[in-house]
Amino acid sequence: MTPGSTTGTRSSTTRSGSPPSGPEALRCRYGEREHTHRLGAPMAELASVPELAPEPPQSIPDAPESSVTSVSAQITEHDAREAEMLHDNAGDRPLAAAQRLMEELAGSLEGLDDLAPYLDRLVAAVNANIDGCDAVGVTVVMDDRPRTAAYTTAGTLEIDAVQYSVGDGPCLDAFRNGRENLVDFAGGEERWPAFMEGCDVGDVQSLLALPLESGGRRFGALNLYGYARHAFDHTDLVLVRMAAARAADALAAAVQVAGAREVAAQMEQAMASRAVIEQAKGVLMGRHSISEIVAFELLRRQSQEQNLKLRVLAAQLVAEARSSRSEAL
């Protein structure tokens, strides 16, 4: 295996399916179930920083609704073979993890509003089901600008921000070149000198970045962070490939129906909502003495149980906390 790389570079595969039944419908399959994706309303996002340095950017053109094509989100034949190999070589545990991950990522997008919650659910599911994974983030590139569209731990945002600032690093390289990058920060990484010089990785020792590719286009990268050296193995890679395919298909669906500019605009508008979500996580962490990841999961579950948008619930929690502090004075 080449140092700093995974057990092979994932080829640029195209997942295709049947044409949609209408201009606003996009049919996707998750395992054995079919779901219709109707996309067209707003979305949420997170951290955005300066434009990428001009190095073969993967520009994603807008697509008129009349040219929408279907994107399949079903497990590819390659992934199915890999999962069976995991079962043969390592027993039931990896296969059970794959099944659990796919169940957690199943669902349908009824509008562009659903994209950000889906990506939030995806990073939480990956974080929970990948051994050695301590944090997960999704880098999305629209209009040649990278943004962190979902994440589990705010501590990894600095790693993202440095890459976006210098225009290089493992996540951006995965996006630009379709490479699967495995990084050992303690091992003298030399591939991205500007990134390594400007980045304080903190407790992160390992990073795994996979391209988000669907329909022959790349939309960003799925990034996993580990606090131990050599945190990720081949079993993890197979599972992450499955998750990356789901994220890519969801982004492809949004871009194909709403257009890249609309998706990018909605991501920009949602930055403020991310700030209040961070505040709400802080409230829960202080109130219950829990970690950031547990706080976000609690917030996410409450939003589902109460049928409230995450940012609305977060704003309510922050307002209640401020009111309680005022009354205590």
Per-residue pLDDT for 159 more than 60?
yes
d(CA 280, CA 321): 9
Q: Show me where the domains of the chain are located.
A: 26-269, 274-328
**CA dihedral for 302, 264, 176, 197, sign (positive or negative):** negative
Average the pLDDT over 228-233 and give the result. Answer: 95
Residue 93 CA to chain centroid, in angstroms?
A: 24
Q: Specify whether the CB–CB gap between 284 and 298 falls below 8 A.
A: yes
CA max distance for the chain:
63
d(CA 246, CA 234): 19
Q: Which amino acid is at 268?
A: E
Q: Specify whether the CB–CB gap between 183 and 156 falls below 8 A.
A: no
What tokens appear for 179 in the block? 């490479």
What's the first-to-final CA gap in the chain, in angstroms?
Answer: 62
d(CA 199, CA 175): 19
Q: Tens digit of pLDDT for each residue in 267-307?
A: 666 666 777 888 888 899 999 999 888 888 899 889 889 99
Q: What is the DSSP letter of 148?
A: E
To which residue do tokens 């495995």 refer? 182
Q: Which residue has the higher pLDDT, 171 or 84?
A: 171
Average the pLDDT over 32-59 and give the result. Answer: 32
**Total-model pTM:** 0.66
Burial of 184 (0-12, 13-18, 19+ CB in 10 A): middle
Per-residue pLDDT for 82 more than 80?
no
Per-residue pLDDT for 63 more than 60?
no
Q: Specify whether the CB–CB gap between 279 and 318 falls below 8 A.
A: yes
Q: What's the pLDDT at 160?
A: 94
Q: What's the pLDDT at 42?
A: 29
Computed over every residue of the chain, the mean pLDDT equals 74
- The upper half-sphere exposure of residue 177, i.e. CA atoms within 13 Å in the direction of its Cβ, equals 13
Q: Specify whether the CB–CB gap between 210 and 171 falls below 8 A.
A: no
To which residue do tokens 């640029």 refer? 12
What tokens appear for 322 in the block? 């401020």
Average the pLDDT over 75-92 and give the result. Answer: 54
Q: What percent of the chain has pLDDT over 70?
A: 68
Count the Cβ atoms, other than its own, within 10 Å of residue 213: 28
How many residues are present in the chain? 329
Instruction: Give the sheet arrangement for strand 47-48, strand by strand.
Output: 47-48, 145-151, 135-142, 217-226, 206-214, 181-184
Per-residue pLDDT for 87 more than 60?
no
Looking at the domain covering 274-328, what would its CATH class be? mainly alpha
What tokens appear for 282 in the block? 């802080």
Q: Specify whether the CB–CB gap between 306 and 299 falls below 8 A.
A: no
Count the Cβ atoms, other than its own, within 10 Å of residue 287: 12
Q: Tens digit of pLDDT for each residue in 198-230?
A: 998 999 999 999 999 999 999 999 999 999 999
The CATH architecture to which 26-269 belongs is: 2-Layer Sandwich (3.30)
d(CA 174, CA 159): 15
d(CA 173, CA 154): 22
